[in-house]
C-alpha cells in the first residue's frame, strides 16, 4: 500500500467491522493494521476483505488478512498463467510470455562447488551455468498491473481479436484495430519491430553524445 491507499483501507476495515459486528475501530487499530499490512498491495487486501466478510467468524487478525490476500494473489497468478497458455499467440514476442529474456550483458551467477583433487584435498571450483544469462522482461510489469486490475486482463485483447486470430495472419485492418485497442487500454505506444532509419541514426548520435559525456566526467 501507499499513503494514498489509506482511505480505501479504512473503508475496508469499516465494512469488516459492520459485517462481523465488531465495535467501532479506534485510531490505534487503524494505524496498527495499516502498518502491519503496508507491504501488501491494496487491491489484494480489498479482495481479501470481501472474502473475509463472506466467511470469517471474527474480525481478522492482520496475519489472517495477509494470508487471505496471498491466496487472492496466488489464484490470480495461476489464472493469468492459464490464460497466457491458452492465447493463440504470445502477448510478448520478446520473451514468449516466459517473463525472462536472454541478455548477454546480464550478470551471470557463477556457482561454487567443491571437489577433491588428486592430492586428496578439497578445492572450490566455479561452475558456469548451462544457459545464457537472462533478465526480467519488461512485460512482467504489465502482467503485474493486469493482476492488480490496474490494466485490463489480456483476456480482453483475446476476446477483441478472437474472430480472426487463428493460424491465419491478421489483415492490415485487423492489426491496426488491435494495435489501437491495446494502446488505448494500456496507454502504451506500440512501436513496429523494425526501427526506421531516421530513428536508428538519432539513437546512434545520442549514444555517441553519452559516451563523450562519460569520457568528460571520468577525465574531470
Ligand atoms: Zn516479455
CA of 91 to the centre of ligand 1 (A): 8
- Confidence band for 24, pLDDT divided at 50, 70 and 90: confident
CA of 170 to the centre of ligand 1 (A): 21
CA of 148 to the centre of ligand 1 (A): 18
Closest to 15 in 3D by CA, of 50, 41, 39: 50
Would the pTM count as exceeding 0.75?
no
Q: Looking at residue 191, what is its pLDDT?
A: 63
Residue spans of the domains in the chain: they are: 3-85, 196-220
Contact 66, 32 (CB under 8 A): no
Q: What is the mean pLDDT of residues 135-139?
A: 92
Beta strands 100-102 and 111-116 are unpaired
Is the per-residue pLDDT at 11 higher than 80?
yes
Amino acid at each position: 500500500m501507499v499513503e494514498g491507499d489509506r482511505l480505501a483501507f479504512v473503508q475496508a476495515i469499516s465494512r469488516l467491522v459492520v459485517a462481523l459486528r465488531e465495535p467501532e475501530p479506534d485510531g490505534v487499530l487503524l494505524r496498527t493494521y495499516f502498518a502491519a499490512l503496508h507491504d501488501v498491495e491494496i487491491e489484494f487486501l480489498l479482495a481479501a476483505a470481501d472474502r473475509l466478510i463472506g466467511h470469517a467468524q471474527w474480525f481478522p487478525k492482520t496475519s489472517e488478512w495477509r494470508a487471505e490476500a496471498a491466496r487472492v494473489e496466488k489464484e490470480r497468478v495461476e489464472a493469468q498463467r492459464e490464460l497466457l497458455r491458452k492465447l493463440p499467440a504470445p502477448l510478448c514476442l520478446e520473451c514468449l510470455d516466459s517473463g525472462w529474456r536472454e541478455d548477454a550483458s546480464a550478470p551471470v551467477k557463477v556457482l561454487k562447488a567443491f571437489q577433491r583433487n588428486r592430492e586428496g584435498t578439497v578445492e572450490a571450483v566455479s561452475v558456469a551455468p548451462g544457459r545464457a544469462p537472462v533478465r526480467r522482461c519488461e512485460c512482467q510489469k504489465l502482467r503485474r498491473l493486469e493482476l492488480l486490475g490496474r490494466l485490463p486482463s489480456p483476456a480482453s485483447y483475446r476476446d477483441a481479436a478472437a474472430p480472426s486470430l487463428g493460424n491465419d495472419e491478421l489483415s492490415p485492418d485487423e492489426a491496426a484495430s488491435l494495435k489501437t485497442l491495446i494502446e488505448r487500454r494500456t496507454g502504451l505506444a506500440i512501436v513496429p519491430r523494425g526501427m526506421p532509419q531516421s530513428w536508428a541514426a538519432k539513437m546512434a548520435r545520442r549514444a555517441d553524445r553519452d559516451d563523450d559525456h562519460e569520457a568528460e566526467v571520468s577525465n574531470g
